[in-house]
Amino acid sequence: MLPIFASRAELEAEQIKRLQWSLAHTYRHAPYYRAKCDAAGVRPDDLKTLADLARFPFTLKSDFRENYPFGMFAVPHDQCVRLHASSGTSGKPTIVGYTQNDLDLWNTLIARCITAAGGKRGDVLHNAYGYGLFTGGLGLHGGAEKLGCVVVPASGGQTERQIQLITDLKPRVICCTPSYMLALGEALERAGIDPRSTSLEIGIHGAEPWSEEMRCEIEKRFDIAALDIYGLSEVLGPGVAQERADARGSLTVWEDAFLPEIVDPDTGEPLPDGEEGELVFTSLSKEALPVIRYRTGDLSRLSAPVGDVPMRCMDRITGRSDDMLIIRGVNIFPRQIEELIVSEPVLSPHYRIDVHREGALDRLVVTCEAAGACDIATCDTARENVSVRMKSRYGLHAEIVIADPGSLPRSEGKAKRVFDHRK
Ligand code: DLL
């Protein structure tokens, strides 16, 4: 593991210094944030302790929209050496930028993520995150090179070619979304290759929500350790937090670079560690695009450091506050439906969720796929199992449709699985 602080006290002492710098830098150079602070009556000098951060205004996704394309930057945009963009659900993309120092930080954090997942110098690393404006491909690439991995910049798509590269170049580490990993598994099987027989040992998966059941499925299918990587363009890209091989079950937040908070998604009030709410991040040393108290929309929980790394951990993302479906008054996250499907052995882990409104009533249709040739009685039992568990666990009536194997579209990047036709 790359050098990190030896103790919590040392880390917090450094955090406060970096936070004071970041607040002053943002206030001075980002007029949109200065205006927010002035309206709230706070100035960077008011921050004496880490707890004082709660007095500062949030940064919102809408700030990026309103200040498109460069209005969030705290350096002239010609001092950036790279721009990326994240596709918004509607309208213009969000533009993010990096100075050379920002790229160095990003590379360091990604190198730390790969190391934490068990990767090392000299490993062949197959990077199937999309290259281009998406931060996944180039983000993982830079850090993997910094660590000294032999990077195969496969990008997303052209699945048959990826299979050949995996077979011939014998990577030890693979980086891609969990849904694309499943698609690669199927393509290997189609080519007559047992996914358990490849050289792969470590998968670094993220960029979309995935359940513990999905992790077990990937680990079983490939005989690898599948670990979670988290991040978002507005804050950095991948590499904000990483599940460590020695501390599975939660992700270590790289707290020397980002200060995490959890707030109540409705009121914005800070919540104590251990309570679930919306993740908020403040960058501590980013130059081009510093963010102060950025509301991610992602739901999680913070917990105590694990082992000898003195940084706090966060739970795997439960969902996004705007992903939650409210169906006939019941709140449910797509991941909870995924758990039921993936734990049913005769179903494949591919699914889609459709919500319709008929008159005043919501109708939930969950389409799953049979994992292989499946007789009618077996399909009926699987359908009944999912339906009964949906009712008993979540109090929801759902129509379960079992489609033919391979009939649902496969994703090459972030999977789109929820179609809410009520909107
Ligand atoms: O998805 C960055 C990334 C690339 C992360 C590769 C990990 C691996 P955006 O396109 O800006 O950036 O999307 C960010 O994706 O707010 C979450 O909702 C979701 N997300 C990212 N990682 C995870 C994860 C990249 N491990 C948005 N689990 C975030 C669940 C994730 N959701």
Q: What pLDDT, on the 0 to 100 scale, is given for residue 146?
A: 98
For ligand 1, whether the C-beta of 333 sits within 6 Å is no
CB burial of 369-403 (b: ≥16 within 10 Å; e: otherwise) equals bbeeebeeeebeebbebbbebbeeebebebebebe
Beta carbon of 135 within 6 Å of any ligand 1 atom: yes
Question: Which atom of ligand 1 is nearest the CA belonging to 206?
Answer: 26
> Contact at 8 Å (CB) between 63 and 247?
no
Residue bearing the CA closest to ligand 1, atom 15: 207
CA of 229 to the centre of ligand 1 (A): 8
Which fold does the domain 325-420 belong to in CATH?
Answer: GMP Synthetase; Chain A, domain 3 (3.30.300)
Terminal Cα-to-Cα distance of the chain (whole angstroms): 46
Q: According to the model, what pLDDT value does residue 89 have? A: 57
CA 89 to each of CA 92, 94, 323, 328, 372: distance values in angstroms, whole numbers, following the listed order: 9, 10, 12, 25, 34
pTM: 0.95
Nearest protein CA to atom 23 of ligand 1, as residue: 207
Q: Do domains 1-320 and 325-420 have the same CATH topology?
A: no
385 lines ligand 1 (CB under 6 A): no
DSSP code at position 170: -
Q: Which helix (H) or strand (E) holds 128?
A: none
Q: Looking at domain 1-320, does it have CATH number 3.40.50.12780?
A: yes
CA 392 to CA 306: how far, in whole Å?
A: 35
Whether 321 lines ligand 1, by a CB cut-off of 6 Å, is no
Distance 266 CA to ligand 1 centre (A): 22
CA-closest residue to ligand 1 atom 12: 232
DSSP secondary structure of 212-276: HHHHHHHHHHHTSEEEEEEEETTTTEEEEEEEETTEEEEEEE-TTTEEEEEE-TTT--B--TTS-
Does residue 108's CB lie within 6 angstroms of at least one atom of ligand 1? no
The two structure tokens encoding residue 175: 């980086």
Helix (H, G, I), strand (E, B) or coil at 314: strand
Q: Is the dihedral of CA 400, 323, 233, 106 positive or negative?
A: negative
Backbone angles phi, psi at 325, to 5 degrees: -95, 140
* Ligand 1 pocket test target in 59, 114, 135 with most atoms within 8 Å of CB: 135
User: What residues does each domain of the chain span?
Assistant: 1-320, 325-420
Q: What is the rounded CA–CA span in Å between residue 356 and residue 226?
A: 35
Tokens of 185: 């598994």
Closest C-alpha to ligand 1, atom 20: 207
Nearest CA to ligand 1 atom 28: 209
Q: Is the CB of 204 under 6 A from ligand 1?
A: no
Q: Name the packing angle between helices 8-29 and 31-40 (round to 10°).
A: 100
pLDDT by 10-residue block (mean), the chain, 423 residues: 77 97 98 98 98 98 95 96 83 92 98 98 98 97 98 96 98 97 96 98 97 96 98 98 97 98 97 98 98 97 96 95 90 93 94 94 95 88 95 95 94 93 89
pLDDT in tens, 284-338: 999 999 999 999 999 999 999 999 999 999 999 988 888 899 999 999 999 999 9
Closest ligand 1 atom to residue 237 Cα is: 2
Q: What pLDDT is recorded for position 90? A: 59
Cβ of 114 closer than 6 Å to ligand 1, yes or no, is: no
Please give the number of the atom of ligand 1 that sits closest to the Cα of 204: 8
Q: How far is the CA of 85 from the centre of ligand 1 (A)?
A: 13
**pLDDT for residue 5:** 81
| Of 32, 8, 10, 14, nearest in space to 290 by CA | 32
Rounded Cα distance, 330 and 22, in Å: 41
Written as one string, the DSSP assignment of 355-372 is: EEEETTEEEEEEEEEESS
Q: Which of 317, 338, 418 to mutate to test the pocket of ligand 1 (most atoms within 8 A of CB)?
A: 317
